[in-house]
Chain A
Amino acid sequence: QVQLVQSGAEVKKPGSSVKVSCKASGDTFRNSPINWVRQAPGQGLEWIGGVLPTFSTANYAQTLQGRVTITADESTSTSYMELTSLRSDDTAVYYCAREAVALRAFDFWGQGTMVTVYS
């Protein structure tokens, strides 16, 4: 059974940065893309970007390009999502999710990390 465990809640000031981690169990990490999705309070899901750990290649949503960096550390089976120049509308729950290649779908999700941006 795959498990994704994320880091704890964060409170940040506008203009600062946040880095959220997502640790995966098992050897699923190497061959499966890890994606990040966020959900603002009372709103829908928004894809942020994803990374394929084997090649450390990432792609990002156009709306966040330039502010977001997603990385993967194979040695610790951990993915990181860093978002810079934080604004109040970045306040959201941030999820990591494993993409099952054969299914082309996100089959396992982390528990979510609440990031609050306020001054």
Chain B
Amino acid sequence: QSVLAQPPSASGTPGQRVAISCSGSSSSIGSSTVKWYQQLPGAAPKLLIYNNDQRPSGVPDRFSGSKSATSASLAISGLRSEDEAAYYCAAWDESLNGWVFGGGTKLTVL
């Protein structure tokens, strides 16, 4: 069981907006910034969002992140077929003294 809780699956049609939630605790999300990673099938994870809502260079602005208290959310607008992937949230956990991940959300573009 993962320290951060995510829904196992999400779906949407091309052009739609979808949101993926991530729930933690006061020692994880409540005390740290949230990152989001995208993992395409058969590939290594890729950094999508850092510092809750910042995008690395090259990540389209269709991807946005937010955080409130001990929860976070990743939103993808203008959904495209190439967005079909697994998405993981992550944060530093002060109690565990280590990085923790969500269980991952598999996004299907219908």
Residues of A within 8 A of B (CB): 35, 37, 44-47, 49-50, 59-62, 95, 97, 103-107, 109-112
Give bound CA distance, A103 to B59, whole Å: 15
- B44 A105 Cβ-Cβ under 8 A: no
Q: Which of B8-62 contact A (CB under 8 A)?
A: 32-33, 35, 37, 39, 44-47, 50-51, 54, 56
**How many inter-chain contacts with C-beta < 8 Å in the A-B complex?**
64
Residues of A near B56 (CB, < 8 A) are 103, 107
Most buried by B among A45, A97, A107: A45
Q: Tell me what chain B mostly uses at the interface: helix, strand, loop, or mixed.
A: strand
Identify which of B50, B51, B88 gathers the most chain A CB atoms within 10 Å of its CB: B50
Known contacts A45-B88, A106-B37, A109-B45; A35/B99 CB under 8 A:
yes
Q: Is the CB–CB distance between B50 and A45 below 8 Å?
A: no
> How far, in angstroms, from A11 to B45 measured CA to CA in the complex?
23
On whether A45 and B92 interact (CB within 8 A), knowing A106-B37, A106-B47, the answer reads no
Task: Tell me which residues across on chain A come within 8 A of B88, comparing CB atoms.
Answer: 44-45
Q: Are A105 and B47 in contact (CB under 8 A)?
A: yes
Which of A59, A106, A109 sits near B97, CB closer than 8 Å? Answer: A59
In the complex, the answer to whether A109 meets B44 with C-beta atoms within 8 Å is: yes
Q: What is the distance, in angstroms, from B15's C-beta to the closest C-beta of chain A?
A: 28
How many angstroms between the C-alpha atoms of A104 and B50 in the bound complex? Answer: 7
Q: Are A62 and B98 in contact (CB under 8 A)?
A: yes
Q: Which of A61, A109, A110, A112 contacts B98 (CB 8 A)?
A: A61
Q: Which residue of B lies closest to A103 (CB)?
A: B50
